[in-house]
Amino acid sequence: MEVAVVDYGAGNLRSVTRALAAAGGAPRLVRAPEGLAGARLVVVPGVGAFAPAMRRLHAAGLVDALRAVARSGTPLLGLCLGMQLLFDESDEGGQVTEGLGILRGVVRRLPPGVKVPHMGWNTLEIDRPGPLVAGLPDPAYVYFVHSYVVRPADRAVVVAWSTHGERFPAIVRAGSIFGFQFHPEKSSRLGARLLGNLLAGLRARVAP
Among 31, 38, 45, 39, residue whose Cα is nearest residue 3: 39
Q: Which burial class, exposed, middle or buried, applies to 150 when counting CB atoms under 10 A from its CB (0-12, 13-18, 19+)?
A: buried
Whether the predicted pLDDT of 205 surpasses 80: no
| CA-based R_g, the chain, Å | 15
How far apart CA 191 and CA 175 sit, in angstroms, is 21
Indicate whether this model's pTM tops 0.85: yes
Which sequence positions are flagged as catalytic? 80, 183, 185
Q: If pLDDT is split at 50, 70 and 90, which confidence band does 12 have?
A: confident
Among 19, 20, 5, 65, residue whose Cα is nearest residue 203: 20
- Express each pLDDT in 47-61 by its tens digit: 899 999 999 999 999
